[in-house]
Amino acid sequence: MQLRRLMLATALVGGSAAFATLALAAGDAQRGAIVAKRWCASCHVVTSDQTSASADAPSFFDIAQRRTDRKKLGHFLMDPHPPMPDMHLSRREIDDIVSYIRSLDPRPQPAPEPDGKDKELPKNG
């Protein structure tokens, strides 16, 4: 009987941890906005009220319109390349920035593909 209780408790704790991990992986757009203002705004336009940025860096609004899936965008931020500097962002900060960028697209978010990946739309140009 105690073994059954122990197994049930373990399953409940494991399930809660998996749910918490899933929630964390989604990122927090509000925290992402804060991180973006601090680390990204010197080159990118990250908010609608920002008045200056580098002409060579796309705005976060432009990036959002590209509909890049969450995973690809996260990998892009994990592996910076010139002229983008390595900001040494944590996985959580990256997830938050990705959620923030995705929140800037005014169109409804596409439903995830059955395999868990977002469908990538063709790019213009």
- Identify the CATH number of the domain in which residue 88 sits: 1.10.760.10
pLDDT, position 82: 81
pLDDT, position 93: 96
Q: At 9, phi and psi to the nearest 5?
A: -65, -40
All residue ranges of the chain with pLDDT < 50 are: 3, 5-10, 12-24, 125
**Structural domain contains residue 72:** yes
Residue from 105, 108, 100 nearest 74 by CA: 100
- Give dist(CA 1, CA 110) in Å, integer: 47
Angle at Cα 104 formed by Cα 93 and Cα 97, nearest 5°? 5
Q: At 77, phi and psi to the nearest 5?
A: -75, -25
- Give dist(CA 117, CA 103) in Å, integer: 17
**Structural domain contains residue 11:** no
**Structural domain contains residue 89:** yes
| Helix, strand, coil share of the chain (percent; to 5) | 50, 0, 50
**Structural domain contains residue 80:** yes
pLDDT, position 21: 38
- Give the predicted TM-score (pTM) of the model: 0.66
Q: How many domains does the chain have?
A: 1
**Structural domain contains residue 64:** yes
**Structural domain contains residue 75:** yes
pLDDT, position 35: 96
Q: At 78, phi and psi to the nearest 5?
A: -75, -25
Structural domain containing residue 70: 27-103
**Structural domain contains residue 45:** yes
**Structural domain contains residue 117:** no
